[in-house]
Chains A and B, each alone.
Chain A
Amino acid sequence: MAEALFSYLSDDILVSIFSKLDGSDPRHRAVLSSVCTRFCSLLRQHHRLLLPLPPSHHFPNDSTNTPEILLKLHFCCPGLLHAGVVSESGFGSEDPIGKRRKLCNQKEHLASGVWSLSREQGSKLLARQFRDDCLYICDWPGCLHLEEKRKYRLFRGVFVDFKETRVWKALNDGKNKVKRKVDVGGCAFCKSEESWDLHSAFCLRRVFGFHDDGEPVVRAFVCDNGHVSGAWTDVPMYS
């Protein structure tokens, strides 16, 4: 069989072929590293070949933020559930088709929009006193979800050295600690079951505010491992 010949390609030839792929597209790494252990090992050895982008060099020995998790953060939208837009308890009385459509959007899926993460975007999210914390968030406009009430632009990201951050200290501070924990169906990126509400812990910029119906303009939740899921909404044109 002709195709059998390609299984005899040497490592350096494979690496040369992989290097022709667009290194900034995280899908290539995700796909190739899942083809076989040989490809996976080559990509780990030549990690600069196919990026993952900035965050990976911050996590050299972090077992909770493996290259695979960091890769997933680039292109996996956490879904409306993990971003805290909907709850698991459901949607009231809707027709079955609407329910099925919502189910698809609830859980994690391939994100639309840009797949790069940037520290700049993370800085724009955090309140002033937390600006020294290093947070990478996906670039605007995030993954767009058109819902009945409004548009939600879901984002995801990760803190570097989360347990060393001021955000973590603020979340664990004193008597209000329990109130800041929320149930958003666990983290979309790791096994962490609990999440913290960054908005109610005053970790987000105050300027974001609320809509008339009480929904926050920006919401964000972080798990114990520093993975962030959230949603932007459009700022009302009038106050």
Chain B
Amino acid sequence: MELLCIRQWISGLLPTVKKWLSAWCIKPVGGALVRQEPEYILLALMGSPLKKIMLCSSEKEIFSVEEQVMVQHSVIINNMIEDGSYNHEESKIPLDCVDSKTLKKVIDYCTHHTHHHNDNQEDLEAWDAQFLNVDSNGLYDLLMAANYLEIRNLLDLIYGTIKNMIKGKKIDEIRRIFNIKDHGFTPEEEEQNRKEYPHFY
């Protein structure tokens, strides 16, 4: 709600702001200001339009991404920028546990959810479903990256996906999904469990 009020306030300022921008010779860069979205105008006023940060994957590949996008989604990156440990001029943030393929996907997720947060819920959910249409390896890598970067909504999404993989499944199937070769029960305990809950095996 607060964001809505700010947006309305900014929208009210727009005609004045546009006049100032042209007076100060601030030209649109890369099409960003042309989009006329109020938050971009405000960022321009603040003198930091679409500030970028550099993320470095485990394969030493550099990804340039809007600071706002990552700050909104990743608690770790937000903390680094807030406490001043990230120097925009020189630094890149090394993410040694995240490979390039996964990092690109994480950036896609965060960027989409920043730029499309006003989309209706159904469209967002459809996009998320498509985003997570990956194999188990990919899902695991995304989970590890989201956990490391503390991206809450992506983590929740992945938890929900794994929950759906095990919900309603029999015990033997869940053991296969998690590759549990040694369940740890004694033969007597296992037999007792199978007698107690035969319909779950």
Give residues in A with beta carbon < 8 Å to B.
1-7, 9, 13, 16-21, 27-28, 30-32, 34-38, 68, 72, 109-110
Contacts and interface: CB of A to CB of B under 8 A. Distances in A.
Nearest to A27: B200
The majority secondary structure among interface residues of chain A is helix
Contacts of A109: 199
Contact of A31 (B159, B176, B183, B200): B200
B64 interface: no
Given A1-B179, A21-B167, A6 B197 contact: no
A6 B140 contact: yes
A203 to B, nearest CB: 29
A7 B179 contact: yes
In the complex, the 5 A-B pairs of residues with the closest C-beta atoms, listed nearest first: A37-B184, A2-B136, A20-B163, A36-B183, A5-B140
Contacts of B167: 21, 28
A36 B163 contact: no
B197 A30 contact: yes
Contacts of B171: 31, 34-35
B179 A32 contact: no
Given A17-B163, A21-B167, A35-B171, A110 B178 contact: no
Given A30-B200, A34-B200, A13 B147 contact: yes
A37 B182 CA distance: 9
A36 B190 CA distance: 9
A103 B171 CA distance: 26
Interface residues of B, number: 32
B199 to A, nearest CB: 5
Given A34-B200, A35-B178, A37-B184, A5 B137 contact: yes
Interface of B: 135-137, 140, 143, 147, 155, 159-160, 162-163, 166-167, 169-171, 174-180, 182-185, 193, 196-197, 199-200
Contacts of A36: 175, 180, 182-185
A222 to B, nearest CB: 21
Contacts, number: 77
Given A4-B179, A110-B199, A32 B174 contact: yes
A20 B159 contact: yes
Contact of A20 (B160, B184, B185): B160
B45 to A, nearest CB: 40
Given A35-B174, A35-B175, 8 more contacts: A4-B179, A20-B163, A31-B169, A31-B170, A36-B175, A36-B183, A68-B196, A109-B199
Contacts of A5: 136-137, 140
A35 B163 contact: no
6 contacts: A1-B179, A2-B140, A7-B179, A17-B166, A31-B169, A35-B183
Contacts of A1: 179
B134 to A, nearest CB: 10
A5 B141 CA distance: 9
A37 B136 contact: no
Contacts of B182: 36
Contacts of B180: 7, 35-36
